[in-house]
Amino acid sequence: MTRLQAEALSYRIDHREILKGISLTVNAGDNIALLGANGAGKSTLLRILLGLIAPCSGQVSLEGRPLTTLNRRAIARQLAYVPQSHVPGFPFSVSHVVGQGRLPAVGLMRAPSRADQAVVEQALSDLGIAHLAARTYTDLSGGERQLVLIARALVQRAQVLVLDEPITGLDYGHQLRLLGLLDTLAQQGLSIVSSTHRPDQALASANRTWVLHDGQLIADGHPRDVIDSDLMQRLYQVKVRQIDADGHRFFIPC
């Protein structure tokens, strides 16, 4: 089942091309790692897929309908987004911030039900941050805020979850728990798209990799079929030696 489709997307700022003729699909059960060096255009591509900015040419369709024909609430029912960073506006509790993810489903005029609160509690528990529920969001560390934003996205119960470099700022334990949770969600039929500049993340958790380089999609396939030492040199201008052992792939400097 194709949930999200992009056709011939291009984007430029003044005379600088950021994206050049990108076409892709997101299917049910995909756990996609969008891989590219810093400045490759990953965040721009995600924002276009979410309908937050418009491409200079091309089209994005959600469940077969152009994004331009849908309002923000309709999009939010199907697409959930976790940005790289978030500047808090008010000192809400963590539980309140996560509960905001239920708004696309219940609307602004209805108070959260017990069922909504149960969804919030489950998301906090799944991410290992239930102990933060009563804390003030503005008092949290950057990594803790990132987990709260991921919980907020989960409670939307959208079919497509889009995350912009989600493990940035997380300690190693939370990184592993989050990647495991994303893998479980994909196995349950959700569609996951996560940007990263780290090939190890793609190899460890994704079942599909998009590679963005110089504004072009240069590869789309299983991580082990796509990510090798030649790609590392092309993306990051470093020479590495590739080691395959026990079903895993590693890279070490030459």
In the DSSP assignment, the letter for residue 136 is B
State the average pLDDT over residues 211-234.
Answer: 95
pLDDT at 13: 92
pLDDT tens track for 57-75: 999 999 999 999 999 989 9
- pLDDT over 90 at 86, yes or no: no
Token representation of residue 192: 């996951």
- To the nearest whole number, what is the mean pLDDT of the chain? 91
pLDDT at 250: 87
How would DSSP label each residue in 165-218? Answer: STTTT--HHHHHHHHHHHHHHHHTT-EEEEEES-HHHHHHH-SEEEEEETTEEE
State the average pLDDT over residues 143-168.
Answer: 91
- pLDDT over 90 at 169, yes or no: no
What confidence tier does 108 reach under pLDDT thresholds 50, 70, 90? low
Residue type, 92: F
* Percentage of residues in the chain having pLDDT higher than 90: 70
State the average pLDDT over residues 86-110.
Answer: 81
Closest C-alpha to 30, from 207, 216, 212: 207
d(CA 139, CA 44): 29
The answer to whether residues 163 and 150 touch, using CB atoms and an 8 Å cutoff, is: yes
- pLDDT over 80 at 196, yes or no: yes
What confidence tier does 248 reach under pLDDT thresholds 50, 70, 90? confident
pLDDT at 107: 66
Edge-first strand order for the sheet with 57-62 is 16-27, 2-13, 57-62, 65-66
pLDDT at 215: 93
d(CA 60, CA 147): 28
